[in-house]
Structure 1
């Protein structure tokens, strides 16, 4: 990694999290976001598992052709990171890597967590993190980019259909 590139990655990831804040998030919004993200993945031919969840409540899941059971396990573990730390799993990974910290060595991120890109917090304005959207099946960066693309498209659709919210 080039000098200073870790801080640029962290800044870019933090900017994404500040930008991708929804005005609201209902079960209907979870469904719309999931279907939209699934369409993006299917159009690109990605064999991924997608899910949207709150703690202890699955709101949406799609398994695209080519996905494997192992990818569901990874999605579970990535989402656990996002829901626990209220940051994208990619941002957690970048921050720990920049600090030279091995997640397994710190003790509070055991085998139930996967500190790698692909899960992103669903944040509602004036509320905070209410859920996580997760993809598994591509590279960490591609999984991250997929969920961010879905969130961006959903947010743009939401703004267009509900101006002023």
Structure 2
């Protein structure tokens, strides 16, 4: 999925992601949960034959990491950059980038953050615990940004349903 240029489509996409962030909230999250979430995403990617790297972090500590065939060290760099956006802004990396586009600018232009350290591209999503807030990130890299984001959301939905 590419980023829509139509302002109405962009507004609808932003609303959808905001709704996902409100809906995909956990009651708890520990190291075992990180393992299960990472495995859920990895299995989803394997089933779909997707060349992605999966990463789960809590409070900056990497708790799960899996690089599937077809990925490279570049995916690891993208994961770190996208996760830093979530850590800094408390929202998915895709949402942060889209909000800048909706204001007629880019994240790189407006944030003035080092693009070698921050990337507001789809694929990193906040791990939010009810009553606590954002405590970490779950991220995927390897697909176009909208597809990375969608895969993370699909994985979180499956994890919450289990």
Question: TM-score band, normalised by the shorter chain?
Answer: over 0.9
**Does 2:118 align with 1:116?**
no
Cα offset, 1:83, TM superposition: 1.1
| Alpha-carbon distance between aligned partners in 2 of 1:140 and 1:3, rounded to the nearest angstrom | 19
Following TM superposition, where does structure 1 have runs of at least 4 consecutive aligned residues deviating by more than 3 angstroms? none
In structure 2, distance between residues paired with 1:108 and 1:3: 24
1:11 correspondence with 2:15: yes
Q: What is the CA–CA distance in structure 1 between the aligned matches of 2:108 and 2:161, rounded to whole Å?
A: 38
Match of 1:86 in 2: 90
Counterpart of 1:135 in 2: which secondary structure?
A: strand
Q: Which moved more, 1:103-112 or 1:52-61?
A: 103-112
**Secondary structure of the structure 1 residue equivalent to 2:65:** strand
Alignment of 1:4-153 (within 5 A): 4-111=8-115, 112-153=117-158
Deviation at 1:117, TM superposition (A): 0.3
**C-alpha distance in 1 between matches for 2:146 and 2:72:** 19
Per-residue CA deviations over 1:50-70 (Å, capped at 9, x if unaligned) read 100124310100010111111
Identify unmatched segments of 5+ residues in structure 2: none
TM-score normalised to the size of structure 1?
0.91
TM-score after normalising by structure 2: 0.93
* Superposition RMSD in Å: 1.1
Which deviates more from structure 2 when the two are superposed, residues 63-72 or residues 98-107?
A: 98-107
1:100 is displaced (CA, Å) by 1.3
Offset from partner CA, 1:96-143 (integer Å, 9 cap, x none): 100112222235421200111000001000100011000000010110
> Deviation of residue 9 (structure 1)?
0.9
